[in-house]
């Protein structure tokens, strides 16, 4: 079957908004098709080559940023603090492991969110669920929650300005800083597909990933991603059977291209030991080139007694540590981590070493996320220290 930027439209698309004015949506898509690429194909290809190195154990992938970027939190300070935090984390990992660290932000385009229900009900009123600032507003009122295609322009502008700022920040360093987000809002992503050499690529980010809720057989999101030249991520969560994963790899990487696929395991601290080894084994048995990365965030979300959605740092660290142990016993390269974090001093995840661990009672103090709870800078550095330690250990084992 031939692929085209719009071929996903014949497939089952979950988690897309329903726009009430199809003409306005079509007009927005038309306009975006004429916009400049945000990233170019050569940069996406460079990231793919770097990920191929990581697959061979010669680099490590650090992917991190907001769960959902928002229009309200857009500021040069926020961009710089995320950038600097990733740099500190990367430096710690590089020093301990001796490996170059690939820095890949969940930034400059991470605006669309999957939601488990189409509607959100509050005290007798039901409104469309918040699907990220690129779709609708977070305020619980009918006007804000109406999916509005015009929001795609603001998202494009913010992504563009964020990228420009990141390029300024990274021009002072030698290493490039790459961008990524979930390939979710397909009308937007399709409009930003551009030609590069003989192929097509998504110009909205260097790497796009397919989320846990849209990686099913027959998914429109998988169909869309299949024809792109970009490196791709696939979230691997509970319920993903080894055979289904192999079918996904057949579809997304038929040529078995190094650097093409990063598998992002997000099993949860209690389930990773049972669920990850069979997937690693199946992929290895088939000789598929992938990079295994660990997302210790999305399987460890809990509801605190006071109603806040949070994540205990202890569980995040435990899952990360298990990831390294499992990779070692499965003879697989532990190639990366994928983290929701911010350089701002938020109180969204509980725990942390030092004098001031975040307690459930603190959650209300600085809880700013537009979606899932993020690590604050101190917590993120604690995670980086653990990653550094586990990689240093692997380095010593190799040397011995």
Of 201-209, 255-263, 279-287, 368-376, the window that binds Co ion (rule: CB under 5 A) is 368-376
List the structure tokens of 83.
């950038």
Of 16-24, 47-55, 165-173, 210-218, the window that binds ligand PEP (rule: CB under 6 A) is 210-218
The yes or no reply on residue 253 touching Co ion (CB under 5 A) is no
Candidate list 206, 260, 298, 370; residue touching ligand PEP; CB under 6 A: 298
The yes or no reply on residue 269 touching ligand PEP (CB under 6 A) is no
The yes or no reply on residue 235 touching ligand PEP (CB under 6 A) is yes
**Which residue lies nearer to ligand PEP by CB, 213 or 284?**
213
19 to 78, contacts with ligand PEP by CB under 6 A? 67
The yes or no reply on residue 372 touching Co ion (CB under 5 A) is yes
The yes or no reply on residue 266 touching ligand PEP (CB under 6 A) is yes
The yes or no reply on residue 212 touching ligand PEP (CB under 6 A) is yes
Candidate list 32, 67, 363, 380; residue touching Co ion; CB under 5 A: 67
- Are 311 and 350 in contact, with CB atoms under 8 Å apart? yes
The yes or no reply on residue 263 touching Co ion (CB under 5 A) is no
The yes or no reply on residue 66 touching Co ion (CB under 5 A) is no
Number of residues that bind ligand PEP (CB under 6 A): 11
Contact positions vs Co ion (CB under 5 A): 67, 372
Contact positions vs ligand PEP (CB under 6 A): 67, 114, 182, 211-213, 235, 237, 266, 298, 372
């Amino acid at each position: 079957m031939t692929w085209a930027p719009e071929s996903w439209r014949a497939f089952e698309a979950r988690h897309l908004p329903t726009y009430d004015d199809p003409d306005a949506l079509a007009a927005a898509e038309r306009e975006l098709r004429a916009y400049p690429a945000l990233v170019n194909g050569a940069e996406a290809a460079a990231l793919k080559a770097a990920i191929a190195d990581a697959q061979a154990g010669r680099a490590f992938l650090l992917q991190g940023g907001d769960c959902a970027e928002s229009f309200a939190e857009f500021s040069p300070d926020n961009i710089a603090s995320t950038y600097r935090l990733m740099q500190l984390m990367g430096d710690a990992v590089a020093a301990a492991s001796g490996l170059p660290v690939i820095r890949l932000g969940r930034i400059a385009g991470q605006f669309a969110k999957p939601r488990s229900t189409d509607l959100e009900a509050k005290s007798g009123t039901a409104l469309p669920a918040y699907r990220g600032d690129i779709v609708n507003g977070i305020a619980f009122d009918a006007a804000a929650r109406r999916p509005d295609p015009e929001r795609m322009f603001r998202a494009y502008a913010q992504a563009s300005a964020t990228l420009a700022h990141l390029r300024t920040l990274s021009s002072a360093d030698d290493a490039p800083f790459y961008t990524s987000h979930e390939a979710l809002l397909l009308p937007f992503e399709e409009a930003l597909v551009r030609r590069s050499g003989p192929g097509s690529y998504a110009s909205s980010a260097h790497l796009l990933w397919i989320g846990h809720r849209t990686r099913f057989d027959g998914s429109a999101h998988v169909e869309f991603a299949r024809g792109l030249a970009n490196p791709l991520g696939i979230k691997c969560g509970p319920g993903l059977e080894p055979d289904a994963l192999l079918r996904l790899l057949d579809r997304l990487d038929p040529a078995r291209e190094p650097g093409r696929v990063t598998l992002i395991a997000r099993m949860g601290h209690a389930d990773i030991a049972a669920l990850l080894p069979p997937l690693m084994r199946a992929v290895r048995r088939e000789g598929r080139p992938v990079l295994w990365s660990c997302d210790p965030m999305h399987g460890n979300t809990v509801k605190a007694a006071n109603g806040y959605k949070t994540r205990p740092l202890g569980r995040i660290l435990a899952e990360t540590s298990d990831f390294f142990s499992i990779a070692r016993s499965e003879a697989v390269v532990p190639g990366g981590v994928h983290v929701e974090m911010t350089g701002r001093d938020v109180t969204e995840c509980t725990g942390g070493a030092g004098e001031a661990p975040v307690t459930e009672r603190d959650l209300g103090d600085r809880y700013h996320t537009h979606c899932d709870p993020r690590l604050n800078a101190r917590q993120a550095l604690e995670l980086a220290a653990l990653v550094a330690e586990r990689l240093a250990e692997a380095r010593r084992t190799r040397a011995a």
